[in-house]
Structure 1
Amino acid sequence: MARKDPSHDEVTPLLAAIEEVPITASSREGEQALLAASNGHPKKHTGNGTFSAANGAGKPVDQPGRSSEGAASDDIDKPLPKFQILLLCYARFVEPLSFFCIFPYLPQMIANTGEVEPSGVGFYSGLIESLFSLTQMCLMIGWGRAADYFGRKPVLLFSLFGMSTGMGLFGLSKTLWQMILFRCMAGMFGGVIITVRTMISENSTQKTQATAFSWFAFASNVGIMVGPIVGGVFAEPAKNLRPIFGGVWFFEEYPYALPTFITSAIGISAFVLSAITIKETLPSHTRSTTPTTPNKPTSILALARQPNITRVLWLYTLTSLIAFAYTAVVPVFFFTPTATGGCALTPPQISIFMTLGGFAQSAYMLLVFPPLHARIGTIGIMRCVAVVWPISMALYPLANVLLARGTHAANVAFWVLAPAITVLTSGVSMGFTAVQLALNDVVPEPESLGSLNALAMALVAGIRSFTPAVSTVIFAAGIERHILGGYLIWLVLVGLTLAYSASVRVLPRIAWGRNGDKADEATAQEEEG
């Protein structure tokens, strides 16, 4: 199997709406050129947006949006337009900033409406979080088609403006229905991530895409870190920032307006900068006559029936399910009173933990994942995650036990243990990239890559739309009925992580990555040929 650089898996087609599945499709011209170069042999996906023939005769296929001739000549040596990439990364930064900004104060904001019992705060927190993803899922393909027809830049600008407006209005909400309305409004304008990913791909070449998409990933993690900081520090400024905002009527009447206004202002600044400086990247040749295809792609149903694909998709489903549930539950767990199974932390304290988690994820992905993958491969990373994940989930109830004691020593122990658990749990973010690489490895042929990408996107979008609501309902039920001392959700998460650990054992050998059995991989390639 061809060796692949995990940093290259972010070259995506326009309609790759969900960030977690960076599978890429080759251009039709590239497929035809490869078919001719390989004398008709099946192709093997190398994991970096290219394909090679199973007999080793294949040549790299160009990235989407480039002709095979251009990428084979001058385009491959085109320098990276760093200023354009930085501007696009700034635009990318807005989406996670908007998504995570509300997490530290959302439970308190819901409680302040007086419309919900304390035991029901968790449910409505998860519902509002889920609606953002649900509206994105429903409209993502439409944004992609609009970007194909009208151009990348108009869709990017329209999406940035709409998302920023919805986020600003959210802070003025006084009732649950207003929160739901404005959160859905922010989620409706989900074209940012599609256009930014595509424009970065069209601005880079095979030689520069690793650098470009490492910046892209870093911008996303910065948004994850900064969002909770903005939400935690600037919520209720009349009380928490009294020297500056104390006595200001507006912020006393709308205590959560300031963090959303700051987030909105950042989005508007990205809109203005993008309007002035970002260049359109939609290639004109994408509207040319429809090319012929050498092979008919495998149908979605046929792909889903293939054992290797089914196993990897199951692992991907479990990874997404656990991660989304954990992300939704942790802020509510930190906010919940100690007597009922939580930690009774303030929004600024919650923001500290969420920021620490975002920083740790960035460090793991930038500093740990590449050398670790080179050493132990995809399967090795998954096995590490399979060990760490159940342990970290089982440790969270211990944080509540320590605070419930109320002693100074127990409080000190909590502030040592809780950050350590947060950093430990953040390491499993490497499991996302690992399972993405595994999914790339089981693609049967390049003509089916788009179909498999669509199947994976549908799974992830669906999971993200309902998981926060369901997980917080389970959390609220455990708290209200005092099931297992209020720790029901952690038992569920431990069970899911143990299911992940068992599923890693059946990962197809062809998807083991760099540390897989090379002899078996060679045999698999010969069988494909």
Structure 2
Amino acid sequence: MSTLDSYETTPLLQVPAKKRTPLPWTQIIVLVLVQIAEPITSQVIYPFINKLIAELPITEGDETRVGYYAGLIESLFFVTEALTILQWSRWSDHVGRKPILMIGLSGLTLSMLFFGISKSFEGLIISRCLAGLLNGNIGVLKSMMGELTDETNIAQGMALMPVTWSCGATLGPVLGGWLANPHERFPSIFGQSEFWREYPYALPCFVAAGYCAFAFLLTLFCLKETVEVGKPRDQTLVEENALPTRSGEIPLSLKQILGYPRVVVVVVNYAFLAFLDIAFRALQPLVYTTSIPNGGLGLPPPSVGLALGAFGLASGLFQTFVFVYIYEWLGPKPIFRLSISTYLPMFILFPLMNLSAMHNGVNWLTWVEIAFQVSFYVLMDMGFCTINIYIRASAPSNRSLGATNGLSQTSASIARAIGPALSNSLFAVSRQHNLLGGHLVYAVSAVVAGCAIVMTNYLPKDIWHQESTESDSQ
């Protein structure tokens, strides 16, 4: 039997249908409010980052060079996060989830404050590196969600995580576009202060930092610890909800975890999804703000913020009200494959938008094309719900859940570090040297999407069950 066949057949285990366990909504809501801090802080800069970079001396007034430096800024968070997120996640298995979350929220708060008052490219670099080094929250949050759910309600619980990201991805760009240059947009309130003229992008960064501080207090006072350090796992407060332990109660080493083929398959698929997602997200504001002759649409920051917010809002509503039913109807593998496949038309729509704008300006046709992108993006976002379920099921044991999530997030962070720098640099090179008519970046992105579609073949049709875990590691 081939490797592919074994992955396909391993989880096909007949299990009795179980009644769905109610979610512990109080803790889930707290978890969601804490998680939303990260997408707000990561997305709030997108409406104005390209304009900010263009105003710095480093570009020497050349608009075509903005993509290089904007891509670097967008990548740095994930570069530094990749260096530490696995260790943060593993520490959370030993010292508890809450201390790690509070360290991460502190890092995000300080980073956004510093970013808002940075007047140099070096200052922007330092602030993004600080955020990445101190932040390992997403892996820890996924572990907590896995511990607060069981096999009957994990799809419902995990569906909330990309919904939360979508809410933050909606709010962040809207705040960034709406609050940038407050002395011009709200002169009666901010016009008299020289500070807002000197630091026109400080206000959205300060608002994002304020939310992170709120999330820190929420974690400190309201979020219950799901790992009772020093006690057997069966005494923790979530044991009756958590999935059964599958390989003992001692956290496994990284080498042992990587000995499970299912973990490797899930990690690679997640890395592909993360790369495509961040490459698309990096190209969006770049294409939307770049002038039409240089391959973009020439939209102002407020319009960019509203457009990016529409993506998050539409996706959030869809995941909230529709995903669980589609998951129960189709199962995880078809959904994930569909999710990856949507990147092909989403990337192809970028040059089509520019082409229509070159001939007719930004008109109704351009906005129809953006609406199509939104529709495909909604379908794509189901992939994150699904891969989170795969990650949770692939963990060798409950005490290794943090490390497994950390490993998957490390791979995603590496992919997200490469994505913006590569896509934005390819955009700049494509335009400067007129490669494939200036559209080489989209062709390369489509090829990567094709490789990701092939990789989905190695995922099982159904989620693994604990009974098959031991044989999987042998």
Same fold (TM over 0.5): yes
Pick one of 180, 186, 204 that aligns with 2:125: 180
Shift of 1:295: 12
Tell me what 2:177 maps to. 232
Matching of residue 159 in structure 1 with residue 104 in structure 2: yes
Q: Which letter maps to 2:42?
A: F
For residues 19-418 of structure 1, what are the structure 2 equivalents within 5 Å? 82-116=25-59, 117-202=62-147, 212-286=157-231, 293=248, 300=255, 314-385=268-339, 387-406=341-360, 411-418=363-370
Aligned counterpart, 1:430: 382
Shift of 1:55: 8.6
Question: Cα offset for 1:342?
Answer: 0.7
Q: Which amino acid aligns with 1:105?
A: F
**8 A contact 1:297–1:447 mirrored in 2:** no
Displacement, 1:201?
4.8
Contact 1:225/1:354 (CA < 8 Å) preserved in 2?
yes
Residues 477 and 304 of structure 1: CA distance in aligned 2, closer, same or farther (over 3 Å): farther
Q: Counterparts of 2:35 and 2:370 in 1: how far apart (Å)?
A: 30
CA distance in 2, matches of 1:142, 1:200: 19
TM-score when normalising by structure 2:
0.80
Paired with 1:440 and 1:209, the residues of 2 have a C-alpha distance of 9
Check conservation: 2:86, 2:410, Cα contact below 8 A: no
Amino acid at match of 1:430: M
**Would you say the 8 A contact 1:164–1:264 is kept in 2?**
yes
Residue 436 of structure 1: CA displacement? 5.2
In the TM superposition, residue 135 of structure 1 has moved relative to its aligned partner by 1.7
> Aligned residue for 1:513?
462
**Alignment of structure 1 residues 517-528 onto 2, 5 Å:** none
Deviation for aligned residue 1:448? 12
Deviations along 1:196-231, one digit per CA (max 9) or x if unpaired, are 444455556666666554444433321111111111
The amino acid that maps onto 2:37 is: V
**Secondary structure of the structure 1 residue equivalent to 2:425:** helix
Q: Supply the AA of the counterpart residue of 2:354.
A: N
Q: Is the 8 A contact 1:238 1:245 kept in 2?
A: yes
- AA of the residue aligned to 1:282: V
Secondary structure of the residue aligned to 1:173 is coil
Larger relative contact order (CA 8 Å, sep ≥ 6): 2
Residues 381 and 145 of structure 1, relative CA distance in 2, 3 Å threshold: closer
* Contact 2:346–2:373 (CA under 8 A) maintained in structure 1: yes
Q: For residues 239 and 445 of structure 1, do their structure 2 counterparts lie closer, same or farther at Cα, with a shift above 3 Å needed? A: closer
Report the identity percentage.
26
* Gap change, CA 1:126 and 1:440, over 3 Å in 2: same
Gaps of 5+ in 2: 1-8, 234-244
Which deviates further from its counterpart, 233-242 or 100-109? 233-242
The alignment partner of 1:422 has SS state of helix
> Which residue number corresponds to residue 23 of structure 1?
none
Give the Cα separation in 2 of the matches to 1:294 and 1:245.
57
Q: Answer with 411-420 or 174-183: which moved more.
A: 411-420
Give the AA of the match of 2:41.
S
TM-score for the superposition, normalised by structure 1: 0.72
Distance in 1, Cα, partners of 2:34 & 2:263: 34
Structure 1: unaligned runs, 5 residues or longer: 1-42, 47-53, 61-75, 515-520
**Pairwise CA RMSD:** 4.0
Moved more, 487-496 or 206-215: 206-215
Whole-Å separation in 2 of the counterparts to 1:264 and 1:439 = 30
Q: Bigger shift: 157-166 or 221-230?
A: 157-166
Alpha-carbon shift at residue 398 of structure 1 (Å): 1.1
Instruction: Describe the SS at the equivalent of 2:110.
Output: helix
Return closer, same or farther for 1:151/1:177 CA change in 2, 3 Å cut-off.
Answer: same
